[in-house]
Amino acid sequence: MKASIDDVAKRAGVSTATVSRAFSRPDMVSEKTRTRVMEAAEQLDFSVSRTAGILKSGRSYRVALLVGSGKIEWFTARIIEGLNEILREAGYDLVIYPIGDTDARKSFFSDLPVRGNVDAVVVSSFAISHPEIERLTTTRVPLIGLNITSDDFDASVRIDDRAGIKLIVRHLAALGHRNILYMYEQFTSTLGFSSFNRIYGFTDAVNEIEGLRGRTVAVSPGDSIVNVAMSELFASDDPPTAICFHQDSQAIPLLFKLRRYGVSVPDDVSITGYDNSTFAEDAGLTTVRQKPYDMAVEAARKTLALIEGRPIKVDHEIFPVQLIVRDSTSGPRPAGLSKIGVCD
Amino acid sequence: MKASIDDVAKRAGVSTATVSRAFSRPDMVSEKTRTRVMEAAEQLDFSVSRTAGILKSGRSYRVALLVGSGKIEWFTARIIEGLNEILREAGYDLVIYPIGDTDARKSFFSDLPVRGNVDAVVVSSFAISHPEIERLTTTRVPLIGLNITSDDFDASVRIDDRAGIKLIVRHLAALGHRNILYMYEQFTSTLGFSSFNRIYGFTDAVNEIEGLRGRTVAVSPGDSIVNVAMSELFASDDPPTAICFHQDSQAIPLLFKLRRYGVSVPDDVSITGYDNSTFAEDAGLTTVRQKPYDMAVEAARKTLALIEGRPIKVDHEIFPVQLIVRDSTSGPRPAGLSKIGVCD
DNA sequence: GTGAAAGCGCTAACAT
DNA sequence: ATGTTAGCGCTTTCAC
């Protein structure tokens, strides 16, 4: 059926070695022969099979990407784009392994389907445990972390989440806020390591500032973040004057809805996000920018270097975060939300 | 270095054939032997190499996904999720090929890197030309279309875009609108086929209704859709009372901004999207729902069937669209936008 | 139930 | 510049 290198060789009247060379090292074959080979190949619809070469070279030309969920949200989409961009042109395929629920996770680390089948493993932003990393190590291939810090990785690229959230907290404090809230969705077991740092970082940053109070609130996955936020705003006589969200994608729905509920942003309450993801700019959301595409490109470069045994300048790289101030933050009302609807 | 099947065989005191069987057909090996083999494998950190099996079987266990852009937006993200979900558990790797700019496109179809290297090619939602499909055919593997119609595909899954946009047009007409606008971003050469149908379908649907006027406007990629929309609204004494967007993601930014410009939705103008993508519900956007994840799952099933030579019930399947009415549409003001700011 | 051995489609070392 | 040939790591007949 499918033409093999032998068929081409026969048709072109040369040996298989010549055909192979015509494709992989054109300069080692005479102009004339090469043309003849290429014509024969074209007629037979022949393309070199990577599989055979792979077997020969011992390299799989495959890179695994481990992600914490089957859902490809903003961050993961950018990561895939960045990795694929660099890896593809180097001849590597990116293969995505979602390690979502507990079962998938257990079976992945027990079967370890990547062992012997990929040249590197990139782990993106989920709380991988030490035993799991240990297990991955038995694959004997480079391990690269994306928004994960661990000495067990051969290389990593991440942002400084503590610094990022600190920018937010200080920005709000400078505006005059003294009572702020941090909201995040309750995580499953696959919570990203980076995420923990944002939450802890919030508390630390708050404690650094005299007179500033900050509280963190976890919203259960089933609950509407809007309703929880509203409850927090109206629950006490001393409501927060600003709410910081763990991700833009949690803040954006609130921005859409608050208006209808009689709360104005930023007049009644300031709102911040994190990521500078899709629609953050359109929404006028004050946020912290991170650039996962750029991080993935760098991670891919490190990955290739490690695979090919080239030295890498920086093993563990920290990408900058930047505060993006927009219209969702301003100074608090003198008396907070209790003044809503009352003309000053 | 890496343990091979021979090492395991030696250690377990059996032949390589037995080791192979212990992994691929456990029932063909005695309980005792199997245990011994598995222990040896565990000690040596051995996993079966797929590459070798692949070479033997002649199947690559790889499926290519051709997409029109390196950017993974809502639709493509859902497609990847759906395909990966089904293909992975069947042992297939999904490999993404973005055929973005003209150069990438030309080189892809001339080199045809998938030939001999994948078991099937899934083409998602971009305007592939006939010669390009012809060229893909030389790979001799099944071709599956996602939101593309063509008899050249062995199977396809798509929505009825004309029916979808008709739902929108009739909904607006029923509300009393008589002058509506269709806005879309000017496409590059990789415009999805499905997209054309939405645009043509709009005009057709409008013409079906007595007294309804409809115009289509292409926004250049560089232009702000918000500014173009505003210009359309204020350009004439007889402005449209509703604007239909080609995708939710084009309508959502407008919803965020219109308020500031003194235009209220839906009182001053009705807005519709298409997709029911992220934030459409939060934004209260009237739209047409399509479920790309489900479509991808079905496409993956068809793909596997075609690869394995199993019969498929329906080659070319059309998924339903559904009108989702929300708060961004209502009856038009009696005198349209010219009445803005004037109390009735 | 298990072993011996051929061969999947190439690449690369060696020979000419 | 080109040909010959030995494997890469498995799977799978075919014997036993």
* DSSP secondary structure letters along A6-33: HHHHHHHTS-HHHHHHHHH-GGGS-HHH
Please, what sign has the CA dihedral across residues A137, A140, A143, A149? positive
Residue A198 lies in a domain: yes
In a domain? residue A40 = no
Quote the tokens at residue A133.
């990393």
pLDDT at A338: 53
Q: How far is CA B263 from CA A283, B11, B180, B259, in A?
A: 16, 77, 16, 5
Using the predicted structure, report yes or no on whether residue B257 has a pLDDT greater than 60. Answer: yes
A118 or B257, which is more confident: A118
Strand D proximal to B5 Cβ, under 7 A: yes
For residue B334, give how far its alpha carbon lies from the nearest alpha carbon of chain A (Å).
Answer: 25
**B341 pLDDT tier (thresholds 50, 70, 90):** very low
Residue B179 Cα distances to B151, B227, B272, B287, B330, angstroms:
37, 19, 14, 18, 14
Spatial separation of the C-alpha atoms in residues A288 and A265, rounded to whole Å: 18
Is B314 domain-assigned?
Answer: no
* Phi, psi dihedral angles at A64 (to 5 degrees): -90, 140
- Residue A221's pLDDT is 84
Q: Which residues in chain A land under pLDDT 70?
A: 1, 188-194, 334-344
- Nucleotide with the nearest C1' to A53 CA: C10
The answer as to whether A166 is a domain residue is yes
Residue B84 contacts A where some CB pair is shorter than 8 Å:
yes
Contact B122, B144 (CB under 8 A): yes
A53 touches chain B (CB under 8 A): no
pLDDT, tens only, B67-102: 988 899 999 999 999 999 999 989 999 999 998 778
- What is Dmax (Cα atoms) for chain B? 93
8 Å CB contact between A173 and A329: no
Query: In this complex, is the C-beta atom of A26 within 8 Å of any C-beta atom belonging to chain B?
Result: no
- φ, ψ of residue A63 to 5 degrees: the values are -125, 130
B72 contacts on A by Cβ (under 8 Å): 72, 77-78, 80-81
The confidence score (pLDDT) of residue A189 equals 55
Closest CA to B243 of B223, B267, B214, B282: B214
Q: Which of A264, A289, A314 is where one domain is finished?
A: A289
In a domain, A281, yes or no: yes
Domain end (from A259, A289, A319):
A289
CA–CA separation, B85 and B89 (whole Å): 7
* C-beta separation of A201 from A234 below 8 A: no
- What are the tens digits of pLDDT across the range B290-322? 999 999 999 999 999 999 999 999 999 999 999
Give the separation between CA B245 and CA B261, rounded to whole angstroms.
19
Query: How far, in Å, are A61, A83, B242, B311 from residue B83 at the CA level?
Result: 21, 19, 36, 19
Q: Is the pLDDT of residue B50 over 70?
A: yes
Range of the domain at A12: 1-32
Stated pTM of the model: 0.94
> Is residue B277 scored above 80 in pLDDT?
yes
State which residue has its Cα closest to the C1' atom of D7. Answer: A56
User: How many angstroms separate the CA of residue B4 from the nearest CA in chain A?
Assistant: 10
Would residue A241 count as lying in a domain? yes
> What whole-number distance in Å separates Cα of residue A179 and Cα of residue A173?
9
A99 within a domain of the structure (yes/no): no
* Residue after which a domain boundary falls, among B272, B289, B306: B289
- Strand D contact nucleotides, protein CB < 7 Å: 1-5, 7-13
pLDDT in tens, A58-110: 889 999 999 988 999 999 999 999 999 999 989 999 999 998 778 889 989 98
A308 falls within a domain: no
| Nearest protein residue, CA measured to C1' of C12 | A17
**Average pLDDT of span B196-218:** 95
Read off the tokens for B124: 């998602």
Of A2, A88, A282, the CB nearest to B140: A2
CA-CA distances (angstroms) from residue A318 to A104, A127, A201, A292, B113?
30, 18, 16, 12, 35
**Mind telling me how many Å the CA of A206 is from chain B's nearest CA?**
31
Chain A neighbors of B50, CB-CB under 8 A: 116-117
Q: In this complex, how many residue pairs, one in chain A and one in chain B, have their CB atoms less than 8 Å apart?
A: 115
Task: Give the count of domains, chain A.
Answer: 2
> Is the CB of B52 within 7 Å of strand D?
yes
Q: How far apart are CA B251 and CA B179, in angstroms?
A: 18
- The whole-chain average pLDDT of chain B stands at 91
- How long a stretch of residues is chain B? 344
